[in-house]
Chain A
């Protein structure tokens, strides 16, 4: 579904992504982990072109997303992105946040968008907060609304950029629960996260990144029990100690 072919990215002289060549299959749940500065966020942001690349190709559903004349907005409409900082629109209620894109992009009538949004808010456990503004919601609640908002566009892929890193510990669980449910429903997901428990339980595959390269990949069982690359071993050891 997602094919990365020799993807390179530079920030000035800094080589942020080094020749990444990988695939993500449909219905797969992929977790990307690694130390900070490893390029995980950069990588995931290239998938919906929030960041552009300097070399190589990215194809989604067989189409090169950097092709001339490619409709970026259509690409993004088909991919849901969940940010570390939630980024809910503060001047709109939770419901309105979820309705905005479907209505404006003519994917649904206002009535249908409202119905769909209520359904999704219910699925993330926040139907009772539909008319609340973001500043009245806790971090965990805001992130769940953000997930519902992304789902309202009926994407085929969901990208998560450290979705729980900005949350107080007691709210991490409620967000991970929503993500687990999504995974069980068969959504294709790429998650950048530090939550190793989630990775162990839900991921189909794990990529370990450092310094712009994918140094190790494999099934969670293998990765956690038997890491191969010295950096991965170091990383897991640090995690366990903390």
Chain B
């Protein structure tokens, strides 16, 4: 196994870069991080809209969220990769396609996290902010959201873990993320499938388990310093 790692570690890590586009583990991590960061503002807006008292706002957003959550990510990936070019005439790269789809999915799941956090905040927080004369938007910005996001941090980290796992689907449209590279290596070496795929699994495990533990520790820290005190 060691010579396997020794020979292919760079390929596994960055794909064909610099002789080709970036790939491998680094691509997986960068795509996931970028998707989550880009999805945050959108997720925030959708989450606030979800809890809006105006039905004209909360219902369509609710329907959109339900819709996105009812279909497989792979299907949306196919839509964007195969169908969109036929309509717009613009062919997006695999990486760009993956990023777009990840941002859409992440913003929907982040919206749920934000909405749940806002609903969980004691009513008194919003009331006292409004009682001081702050408008709804100001109250959200200065009182509700800072607390919601702090509470939601473990969930957001877990969403990052989900995103990392979701990037693996790029394999199916030929994106050179880490699972694709592993299969390329497997094809080259051919006789060491078990080792190749165990290394792939271990890589994901270390990355995802590590992040999950971080989320767990964050949650523990938040519980020790109870944020909304009565």
Contact = CB atoms under 8 A, between A and B. Distances in A.
Q: Do chains A and B touch in the complex (CB under 8 A)?
A: yes
Interface in B123-173: 124-125, 127-135, 138, 142-143, 146-147, 150
A101 B230 CA distance: 21
Query: Which of B122, B125, B132 has the most chain A CB atoms inside 10 A of its CB?
Result: B132
Query: Secondary structure of the A side of the interface?
Result: mixed
A105 B225 CA distance: 30
A81 B130 CA distance: 10
A77 B147 CA distance: 23
Contacts of B75: none
Interface string A70-107: 00011111111101011111110000000011001100
Contacts of B128: 81, 83, 87-89, 146
Contacts of A115: none
A166 B229 CA distance: 12
A76 B133 contact: yes
A134 B229 contact: yes
B131 A81 contact: yes
B124 A100 contact: no
Size range of the chain B interface in the assembly: 20 to 34
Given A91-B147, A104-B142, A142-B229, A73 B135 contact: yes
A44 to B, nearest CB: 11
B230 A85 contact: yes
Contact of A90 (B135, B138, B227): B227
Contacts of B138: 104-105
Interface in A41-89: 48, 50, 73-81, 83, 85-89
Contacts of B133: 73-78, 101, 105, 153
A150 B132 CA distance: 7
A89 B130 contact: no
11 contacts: A50-B130, A73-B135, A77-B133, A83-B124, A87-B122, A87-B124, A89-B125, A89-B147, A146-B128, A153-B132, A153-B133
Given A48-B131, A83-B128, A91-B147, 18 more contacts: A50-B130, A74-B133, A76-B133, A77-B133, A81-B131, A83-B131, A87-B122, A87-B124, A87-B128, A89-B143, A89-B147, A90-B229, A91-B146, A100-B134, A101-B134, A104-B138, A134-B229, A135-B227
